[in-house]
Chain A
Amino acid sequence: MTFRRLFERGRGPWLAIVALATLALGARAARVGIEHDNASLNAVDAGQRRVYDEFKATFGNDEDLLLALDHPALLDGRGLALVDTVTRALAALDGVRRVWSLTTAEELTAGASGAEPRPLVSPPWDAPDVRMRAVAALDRTPDLTGWLVSADRCTAGLVIELEERPGDVEYRTRIIGAVRALMVRYGRDGVTLHLTGVPVQKHDVAAYVDRDQRLLLPLAIVVLGATLAAFFRRPAGVLVPLGVAALTVVWTTGVYAWSGHALNAITSLLPPVLLVVALAASVHVYEMWRAAADTDGVGRALAAVRAIVVPAGLCAITTSQGFASLAVSDIPAVEQFGLFAAVGTAIAFLLGMTAAPAVLSWLRPPARSGTEHGATLWLLDTTSRLATRRPGAVLVVFGIVTLLATAAIPRIRANTDLVGFLRADAPLRVDTSWIDAHLGGTLPLDFVLRRRDGGPIRALDAYRRLGALEEAIRARPHVATVTSVLAVVRQVHRAESGGALALPDDDATLGDELDLIEESGHALVGRFAGPELRALRVTARLRAVGTAESAPLVEAIVADAARILGPAYSLVPTGALYHVVHDSTRLVHQQVASFATAIVLVVLAIGLLFRSLTFTVLALIPNVMPILWTGGLMGAAGIELSTGTAMIASAVLGLVVDDTIYYLAHYRHAYRGDAASAIHATARAVGAPITAASVSLVLGFWVGAFGSFKPTIYFSLLTGLTMITGVVCDLLVLPASLVVAERMGRARARPVTAP
C-alpha cells in the first residue's frame, strides 16, 4: 500500500482517534487543580527540608498572618477596645490557634512567689487612666515595639498563629477571607487595617493563577486568531493552525493533570505558551499546502508534509530540548514547566504533521494572488539585499551591539521578592509596604541556635553571647527587629529580682529562672525555645526586601554568629523565607546549567541534520546573539533574574533556532553555487511563514504581559522581544554570515532531502 493510499484511508479514523483522545484528555484538563501552598516554587533540597521540618516540629508553624490596625488614638480606650474586639473575632475563627496582640500580651511582674504573668493592658477600656497604664506597660516591655505596636504607638500588630492542617487546603482561604471581611467591617472612621504574611502570599498567588488562566488563554486565542487572519486571510488559515494549537493545549494539560500536578505560578503559563509554540509547524504546513502545485487535496497535503517534516521535526526536537533543559532545575515548578512544554511541543508536531494535513486534504486551496504577503515580501527582499550586498557591515554592526549587550550582562542580579512579584496595585503588595513602613519588618527570617554537642543551652555565657549576637543582627541593614527567648529571660529576671531588664549575674540564678521559663508552659516560650533548651529560635524581622539583599544578610548573620558565639554553638538559617533566599542563590547556577544543556542539545541536533561544522556554527550565531541582547537589556534595565526570567534563555533558544533551521534547510536546497541567489530564493520561500509564525509567537507571548506576576510578565515580554531580534538576526546576520562564509570558501551546501 502506498503512503498516499495509507493517508487517504487512515485520515478519517485518525481524526476520530484524535477527537476521542481530545475528549478523554479534555475531561482531565477541565479538572486541573491550582496549587494552594506554592510548594512547587521551593527547590527540592533534602537537607534544607529536614532542617525546616525539625524547626516546625520544635517551634510550630512559622507561617503567621500579620494584621496591622492603625487607629488615630490607639492607646486610648476606643483604640484598645477595637484591638480587643478584632483580636477576639480573629481568635474565634476556625483554624486560628492563637492571636498575639496588645490585649492578649502579658508582662511578667513580681508576685508573692516571684515572677507572675499579668495582662499587658486590661479592661475596662473606658477607664480614665487606660492610656497612662498602656504607655507605662509598653515602656516596661520594649521588646513588643515593632511587633505588637509601632514605635510611634499609632499602629497595633495582631499576629495570627494558624493551626497546621496538612490535609485541608481550604481553611487558610476561609481564614483570609474572614480576616479581609473584618478589615472592611472595622476599617472606617480613620481606622485602617492591613494584612500580610506568607499564607496571604500563597492564597493570593493561587487566586492570581486562577485569574490568569481565565484571562490569558482566551486572550491568546483572540490575538493569534487575529494575527493568522491578517496573514492568511482565509478561515482555514486561522482555524487549522489554531485548532492544532488548541488540541495541543488540551492534550498537554490533560496529561499534566493526569500525572497528578496542579497549576502553579510558573506552569500557569503552559497553556498560553503551548498555544503559541504549537502554531509554528501547522503554519508552515498550511503555507506549503497553499503553495503546493498539486491539484487534488490529498496530493497537496502530502506535498506540504514532505516539504516540512524534516525541518519541522528538527524544530520540534530543538524546541523540546530548550524546554527540557529546564528540567535540570530543582525547583519543581520550573522542572514541570520545562518537561510539559517539551511534551506539548512533541504533541504539536505529531498533530501538525498528521491532523492538520488530514483536514487540509479535504479543503479546496485558495487561488493564489500576487498581492499575498506583499509587505512581508518587500521586507524580506530588502533584508536579503542588505545582507548580501553589505555582509561585512551587517556583521560589524550586530557584533558591536552584541559586545555592548554582553558588557551589561554582569549587571544582572538574582533577586526573588515574592511580594514584589505582584503588580504595584495588588492588595497584598500595598498592605505589605504599608506595614513595612508603619509597624516594622514583614519578613520573618528564622535561625536555630544549638550547642554543637547537642546539650541544653543553660550557661550565662551563652545568653550573653546571644545578646551580643542580637545586637549585631539588629545593626545590620534591612533588619527591623530581632526576637529570641532572651526577651523572656530578661523579663523573668526583672520580675524575680526587682532589678532592671537584664540578664542575671550568675549561672545559678539563670538556671533557676530558665527552669521557671521552661516549666511555665507559656505559648511564647514554646515559640522561641525547644524542649530542654536544646534549640533556641532567633527571629529577625526584615524590611520588605528581595533575596538580593536578604541572601548576603543571611551570610553576614551566620558569620556574626560564628564570631560571637564561638565554635561551641551553631546558628542555622531556616524557615519559609530562608527557603526563598536559598533557592534564589542557586538560580543563577541552574540558569547557567540549563542554558549550557540547551546549547549542547541544540548544537547536536543541528549538527546531526546538516552534518556540517560550518553550518552548525553559522546557525548558532543568529540564535545566541538575541539571547545576549536580552541579557544585556536585563542588565541595563535592572530586570532581575528570578524564577520566571531565568527560564527565558533556555526556552527561547529552542524557539528562535526554529526559524534558522527552516531557513538553512531551504537555503541548502536552493543553493546552486551562488549564495546571494539562494538567499533571495530562501527569503521569498520561507520568509513569509517564518515571519507569520514568529509574529504569532511574539504576539502570543506578549499576551502574558496581562498576567499577574512580574516574572511571568517579564518572561512573556522578553521572550517575545528575543524572538523578534531572533527573526532580525535570521534575516540579516544569518544571510550575511552565509555570504561571508562562501567568500571564505567554507560554505558548500549539500542538499537536504525529505524522507
Chain B
Amino acid sequence: MCRASVLIMLLALRGEGRCADGLPPALLEAGADQVVARTDVPDAMRKVGEVRLVRRGVAVVVQTLLATKVLPRVVAEIGKKEAGNWPPGAAGREDMERYVAAIERAAGALRAARDERQDGDRRVRMVIELVATPEVAGLMVGTFGGTEVDGTLQPTERRPLETMALRKTYVFRNMRLILADAFHVPEGEVDRLGPLGPIAGP
C-alpha cells in the first residue's frame, strides 16, 4: 500500500469535518498525475484554458488550467455557472460560495501580481483543482508555470495559493457538472471519459 493511501485512510478516520482547513498535502502532489482526458475551454477557437480529468493515486481530480488575459471574465463566467447549478436553498450552495470566493480571491491576487510584474506577458495562469477520494474532497487553487506545446498546456510547476476541504456531496456532483460542461456531453455521459472512481455515476 503506498504512502498516499495510508495517509488518506488516516485522514478518513479523522472524519470529513476535520479537514475543513485544507486538503492533505499528498492529495496535492501532482508528480505522478495521469491525464485521462483533456479539452480546451470554452472551445479551441476561443481557448482560455483546459479542463482535464486526472488520476492522482486513488484520487480523481478535475483540473482546470487557465492561461488567459481575461481572467476576471472567466471567473465571472464560472461564478455564473456555479450559481445556476447551485441555486439559493440548494444543498451545496454554501460550499459553492466558498469555492467561488476562493477562486475570486486567487484571481485577484494573480492579476495584481501580473500588473506589478509588467513584463509584457498579460496572461494570468491559474489552476483550479477539485480533488476527490472516497473519503475526502476539496479544492486547491493556485498558479502554474510552463507554456503551451502543440496546442496543449504543459504545466511545469504548480504553486498552491489556497486549499480547502469541501463537502463530498458538493464536490462529487460539481466535478461531474464541470466535466459535462467542458467536454460538451450530458452529465449522465461523463463516465465515458474514463474511470471516475468516487465520482462515478450510479
Measured CB to CB, the residues of A under 8 A from B are: 112-114, 455-456, 511-512, 515-516, 518-522
Structural contact, A519 and B77, CB atoms closer than 8 A: no
Structural contact, B73 and A516, CB atoms closer than 8 A: yes
Q: Which residue in chain B gives the minimum CB-CB distance to A113?
A: B76
Contacts of A516 in B (CB 8 A): 69-70, 73
Structural contact, A519 and B48, CB atoms closer than 8 A: yes
Structural contact, B46 and A521, CB atoms closer than 8 A: yes
Contacts of A515 in B (CB 8 A): 69-70, 122
Shortest CB-to-CB span from A110 to chain B, Å, is 13
Bound-complex Cα distance A264 to B68 (A): 49
Residue in A114, A456, A511 whose CB lies within 8 Å of B73: A114
Contacts of A113 in B (CB 8 A): 73, 76-77, 80
Structural contact, B68 and A519, CB atoms closer than 8 A: yes
Contacts of B25 in A (CB 8 A): none
Contacts of A512 in B (CB 8 A): 70
10 smallest CB-CB distances across A and B, nearest first, come from A515-B69, A521-B46, A521-B45, A113-B76, A519-B70, A515-B70, A519-B69, A516-B70, A519-B68, A113-B73
Q: Which residue in chain B gives the minimum CB-CB distance to A521?
A: B46
A-B contact pairs, 14 of them (CB 8 A): A113-B76, A113-B77, A114-B76, A455-B120, A511-B122, A515-B70, A516-B69, A516-B70, A516-B73, A519-B46, A519-B68, A519-B73, A521-B45, A521-B46
* B18 at interface, CB cutoff 8 A: no
Bound-complex Cα distance A17 to B196 (A): 82
Q: Which residue in chain B gives the minimum CB-CB distance to A115?
A: B73
Q: Which residue in chain B gives the minimum CB-CB distance to A513?
A: B70
Structural contact, A456 and B70, CB atoms closer than 8 A: no
Structural contact, A456 and B120, CB atoms closer than 8 A: yes
Q: Which residue in chain A gives the minimum CB-CB distance to B47?
A: A521
Contacts of A455 in B (CB 8 A): 120
Q: Which residue in chain B gives the minimum CB-CB distance to A456?
A: B120
Q: Which residue in chain A gives the minimum CB-CB distance to B121?
A: A532
Bound-complex Cα distance A702 to B46 (A): 60
Measured CB to CB, the residues of B under 8 A from A are: 45-48, 68-70, 73, 76-77, 80, 120, 122
Known: A113-B80, A512-B70. 11 other contacts (CB 8 A): A113-B73, A113-B77, A456-B120, A511-B122, A516-B70, A518-B69, A519-B70, A519-B73, A520-B46, A521-B45, A521-B47
Q: Which residue in chain A gives the minimum CB-CB distance to B79?
A: A113
Bound-complex Cα distance A512 to B111 (A): 12
Shortest CB-to-CB span from B87 to chain A, Å, is 16
Bound-complex Cα distance A114 to B77 (A): 11
Bound-complex Cα distance A573 to B68 (A): 32
Which has the most chain B C-beta neighbours within 10 Å: A112, A113, A520?
A: A113
Q: Which residue in chain B gives the minimum CB-CB distance to A455?
A: B120
Bound-complex Cα distance A113 to B45 (A): 20
Bound-complex Cα distance A503 to B104 (A): 28
Shortest CB-to-CB span from A641 to chain B, Å, is 48
Bound-complex Cα distance A114 to B73 (A): 8
Shortest CB-to-CB span from A485 to chain B, Å, is 16
Structural contact, B47 and A112, CB atoms closer than 8 A: no
Contacts of B76 in A (CB 8 A): 113-114
Bound-complex Cα distance A515 to B48 (A): 11
Bound-complex Cα distance A516 to B70 (A): 6
Bound-complex Cα distance A113 to B72 (A): 9
Shortest CB-to-CB span from B56 to chain A, Å, is 29
Bound-complex Cα distance A511 to B115 (A): 11
Shortest CB-to-CB span from B64 to chain A, Å, is 16
Contacts of B46 in A (CB 8 A): 519-522
Bound-complex Cα distance A112 to B80 (A): 9
Contacts of A456 in B (CB 8 A): 120
Contacts of A518 in B (CB 8 A): 69
Bound-complex Cα distance A519 to B46 (A): 6
Q: Which residue in chain B gives the minimum CB-CB distance to A514?
A: B69
Bound-complex Cα distance A113 to B42 (A): 15
Shortest CB-to-CB span from A16 to chain B, Å, is 64
Contacts of B122 in A (CB 8 A): 511, 515
Which has the most chain A C-beta neighbours within 10 Å: B46, B70, B77, B80?
A: B70
Bound-complex Cα distance A511 to B69 (A): 10
Shortest CB-to-CB span from A113 to chain B, Å, is 5
Shortest CB-to-CB span from A263 to chain B, Å, is 42
Bound-complex Cα distance A519 to B48 (A): 7
Bound-complex Cα distance A518 to B121 (A): 13
Bound-complex Cα distance A546 to B9 (A): 82
Contacts of B73 in A (CB 8 A): 113-114, 516, 519
Q: Which residue in chain A gives the minimum CB-CB distance to B68?
A: A519
Bound-complex Cα distance A520 to B120 (A): 19
Q: Which residue in chain B gives the minimum CB-CB distance to A114?
A: B73
Contacts of B68 in A (CB 8 A): 519
Q: Which residue in chain B gives the minimum CB-CB distance to A515?
A: B69
Bound-complex Cα distance A516 to B69 (A): 7
Bound-complex Cα distance A518 to B69 (A): 8
Q: Which residue in chain A gives the minimum CB-CB distance to B73?
A: A113
Bound-complex Cα distance A455 to B46 (A): 23
Contacts of B120 in A (CB 8 A): 455-456
Bound-complex Cα distance A112 to B69 (A): 19
Q: Which residue in chain B gives the minimum CB-CB distance to A520?
A: B46
Q: Which residue in chain A gives the minimum CB-CB distance to B71?
A: A515
Contacts of B45 in A (CB 8 A): 521
Q: Which residue in chain B gives the minimum CB-CB distance to A526?
A: B45
Bound-complex Cα distance A512 to B48 (A): 15
Shortest CB-to-CB span from A431 to chain B, Å, is 34
Contacts of B69 in A (CB 8 A): 515-516, 518-519
Contacts of B77 in A (CB 8 A): 113
Shortest CB-to-CB span from B3 to chain A, Å, is 41
Bound-complex Cα distance A230 to B32 (A): 96
Bound-complex Cα distance A52 to B160 (A): 46
Q: Which residue in chain A gives the minimum CB-CB distance to B72?
A: A512
Shortest CB-to-CB span from A32 to chain B, Å, is 44
Shortest CB-to-CB span from B85 to chain A, Å, is 16
Bound-complex Cα distance A591 to B76 (A): 65
Shortest CB-to-CB span from A531 to chain B, Å, is 12
Shortest CB-to-CB span from A161 to chain B, Å, is 15
Q: Which residue in chain A gives the minimum CB-CB distance to B124?
A: A515
Bound-complex Cα distance A456 to B69 (A): 14
Shortest CB-to-CB span from B80 to chain A, Å, is 7
Contacts of A519 in B (CB 8 A): 46, 48, 68-70, 73
